[in-house]
Amino acid sequence: MLILIFHTAAALCFLTVMTGWTGVALGSLVFALGIAAAWDRALLRSRRSPSGIEIRSSGEAICVFSNGDSAAVEAQGGSAVTRHWVALRLRSPLRGSLLVASGMLPVESFRLLRLWALWGKLPGVAQQQLPVRL
């Protein structure tokens, strides 16, 4: 909704500042750009929208797109991993980035993604468990 609100506000600014057909054309184009951006970025409806992140046991993470393609991802490190979001870099010819917010995943899945982004692996059970004494 914020994408549409800001693009609508920008279109109205063009309509108030510019007169004639140029203002209407520019305002319409900015509004149409807002609809396209919301469709692609916010609603994740385009063919190149991510549909999932698969973290393999080897520690490698793969981003799967809606069209069936996939690309390896890596954590950006530093302040890119917080309790509110995880920023990932796509290792593909597109060289894009992916921002995963905490509300986009269940709590446990987001926690595991954060752990992977910080340490490069998921928590697991040790190879040699100590015997349990009751």
> What is the tens place of the pLDDT at every residue in 96-117?
788 888 888 889 989 988 988 8
Residues 58-68: tens digit of each pLDDT: 888 888 888 88
- Banded model confidence at residue 134, pLDDT cuts 50, 70, 90: very low
**Are 88 and 72 spatial neighbours (Cβ–Cβ below 8 Å)?**
no
* Helix 21-37 vs helix 2-17: crossing angle, to nearest 10: 170
Q: Which residue has the tokens 């149409």?
A: 32
User: What would the mean pLDDT of 26-43 be, rounded to a whole number?
Assistant: 84
Average pLDDT of span 66-84: 83
Between 92 and 89, residue with greater pLDDT: 89
pTM of the model: 0.63
